Structure 1
Amino acid sequence: MSISNLHQNISQIRSRLSEAADRVQRSRDSVKLIAVSKTKPVAAIKRVYETGQRDFGENYVAEAIDKITACESLDICWHFLGPLQSNKTRLVAAHFDWIHSVDRIKVAQRLNDQRPATLPPLNVCLQVNIPAEATKSGVSSETALLELALAVDKMDRLKLRGIMAIPAPTKDPLEQREQFNRIAGLLNIPGLPAGMTELSMGMSSDMEAAIAEGATMVRIGTDIFGARYT
């Protein structure tokens, strides 16, 4: 896929998002589109930025820092989406606006301690993996989610916003909706902090089902940027 197709691709994604929201009588503005630009060049990010897109997601710390530096003159909101090792927390704390993949108190504490005082608190989603899948990161029980949420909520350099999940892949729309419905239900666990309202769920193949079940952020990579460039 060539860079010249990007304007058309994101226009189509925006249409899909709006239609999905309309079907369940939600405002299009209630769903944030995150363009997942991992492994894609800076030129592609700038091309998508031209369309008015401001939220971009990255999974790999070193690659992301290079892109953030190259795009520092642009008013981009950067979302970190991938698993985070403890030795990379300082870079994420200093350069990102959001992190969607916090699943351990140790990582959260390091992010809190390393967030520069000159920046606003780092927006945090907790990654859940319920029911547990061996190949995925995330807290794997409601008890663990509650414990982590209460701990993060006390950290003054972090702002607890909600949860993120990557459900098991399926092409069946009903199964997709069932999984997203279970994820959304986790925000109703008694005792969770009141500020947890964001649901980061849904990607290129299941965006419509996620929006139908309450997603407030969808993470779209392939259907915007394609698998590779020619």
Structure 2
Amino acid sequence: MKVDVLLGLQWGDEGKGKIVDVLTPHYDVIARFQGGPNAGHTLEFNGIKHVLHTIPSGIFHQNKINVVGNGVVIDPIIFVKEINALKKMDVPIRERLLISRKAHLILPTHRLLDAASEQAKGKRKIGSTLKGIGPTYMDKTGRNGLRLGDIETKDFQEKYEHLRNKHLQMLDQFDFDYNIDALEEEWMEAIASFFLVIDSFNNIALISFFLLILVWILTFFKIVP
């Protein structure tokens, strides 16, 4: 099986999405295997400009499989909006998109922790996009996070509240004002609509007979070990 990997090794905004769009006709599978919705991949397809944040750039091509792998962190709010926008353009999402149940979810409290941590750094701010990506990867590597597949379990609410409460205790350590209610309400609405916009979740199987291109969305300077 031939596998090519596209990496961003500069400071970002390198045109990775456009390159993927150019290469896609030569491959059967386009897989995103890391990163979060801080990415904004602008591409033009059939004369129309599109911006993708989570979904691989091959989604507009016929007879292509697009994979969101388990290394990707997903913000349900952003993801559902992206899916709905594609469905309005009659993109056959179910036929072209596979999502790993092991992909981790960005919680509202992840975004709050990101903002609180950035504020606390003062002049040493790193320029975070405040999307909660860093804190989500901390939970992923620490084996504390919520996965997409957890939505299907009976104890999802319990798992969510446990992690949420842990995050709120961490937020108490910062001099940071926040209101979680609006964020949480929108997040829960997105979770509830997930099954409606996706139709079904798919486990990623080993694809041994396709030409495969892997897309590393994060830049070299944002790699999470």
- TM-score tier by shorter-chain length is 0.3 to 0.5
TM-score, normalised via structure 1 length: 0.33
Higher relative contact order (CA 8 A, sep 6+): 2
TM-score, normalised via structure 2 length: 0.34
